[in-house]
């Protein structure tokens, strides 16, 4: 069964949805981070423990598949489980279920343990898989697709990392990158299409006050994919994102599901 599972219900609040009453991609990532942290706290390996050891978990990859966007005022159940522990990397899954038990969102994620003083990736101590009662007979290594950089952007915005973007690790929260990417998109992209798959490769943390450039392409190709990158003003890449789209056929369904 790999590692211990954790389940928790979440109510989708009004400030977590977009103009179509859909839970935003940024908040999906925030939910995933939240339940992973709660599980760590319950097992005695949460933030206080990590700080005492001068280590931190950092996300290197997210692969988000959206079957249906959760709606405002909907209660969803999220289940998470560590499914792979390797020398330097760990894999964790998140499954979002609606009230009928249907899977509406699936997130695969890859994490690294970092020395908080030196800022370097370090070997994952055996203590952590043991804390999750991890069965190495079921050890999984999730494969993540390569994400390309943006060579010829169709649009872009310049922003600055502000106080509200910073989390307790003292760098920009991982979900904020998706928020920046969504903010950079022309309105027509979001009003005529739905993102159904997001593949994120994090390269480096953004820090308070840094000037950020977010660039992207319009959806193209038979699979309607767009590519995006979050960079420092000197061009150093912080994150690469690929989105796969479908025509906005279920915006109304999402609105109808909102139990106002």
| pLDDT tens digits, 180-199 | 999 999 988 888 889 999 99
CATH number at residue 243: 3.10.129.10
For residue 1, pLDDT over 90 is answered with no
Q: Is residue 1 part of a domain?
A: no
**Does the structure show a pLDDT above 80 at 257?**
no
- Nearest partner of 141 among 105, 79, 89, judged by Cα: 89
Is 57 within a domain? yes
C-alpha to C-alpha distances, 69 to 14, 215, 219, 250, nearest whole angstrom? 14, 25, 19, 9
Number of domains in the chain: 1
For residue 255, name the pLDDT band (cuts at 50, 70, 90).
Answer: very low
Higher-pLDDT residue of 168 and 165 is 165
For residue 216, give the H/E element and its range. strand 211-216
Average pLDDT, the chain: 93
The model's confidence at residue 18, banded by pLDDT at 50, 70 and 90, is very high
pLDDT band at 26 (very low <50, low <70, confident <90, very high): very high
Phi–psi pair at 229, nearest 5 degrees:
-145, 145
Domain range spanning residue 232?
A: 6-257
Report yes or no on 154 lying in a domain.
yes
């Amino acid at each position: 069964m790999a590692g211990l599972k954790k389940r928790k219900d979440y109510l989708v609040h009004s400030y977590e949805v977009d103009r179509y009453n859909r839970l935003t991609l940024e908040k999906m990532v925030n939910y995933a981070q939240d339940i992973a942290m709660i599980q760590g706290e319950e097992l005695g390996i949460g933030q206080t423990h990590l700080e005492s050891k001068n280590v931190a978990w950092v996300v290197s990859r997210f692969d988000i598949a959206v079957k249906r966007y959760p709606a405002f005022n909907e209660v969803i159940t999220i289940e998470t489980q560590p499914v792979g522990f390797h020398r330097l990397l760990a894999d964790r899954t998140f499954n979002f279920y609606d009230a009928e038990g249907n899977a509406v969102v699936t997130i695969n994620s890859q994490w690294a343990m970092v020395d908080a003083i030196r800022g370097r990736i370090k070997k994952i101590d055996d203590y952590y898989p043991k804390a999750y009662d991890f069965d190495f007979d079921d050890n999984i290594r999730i494969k993540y697709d390569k994400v390309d950089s943006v060579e010829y952007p169709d649009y872009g915005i310049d922003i600055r990392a502000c106080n509200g973007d910073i989390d307790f690790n003292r760098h920009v929260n991982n979900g904020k990158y998706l928020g920046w990417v969504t903010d950079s998109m022309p309105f027509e992209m979001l009003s005529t299409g739905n993102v159904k798959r997001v593949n994120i490769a994090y390269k480096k943390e953004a820090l308070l006050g840094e000037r950020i450039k977010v660039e992207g392409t319009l959806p193209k190709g038979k699979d309607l994919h767009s590519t995006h990158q979050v960079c420092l003003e000197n061009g150093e890449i912080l994150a690469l994102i690929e989105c796969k789209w479908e025509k906005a056929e279920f915006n109304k369904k999402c609105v109808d599901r909102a139990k106002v």
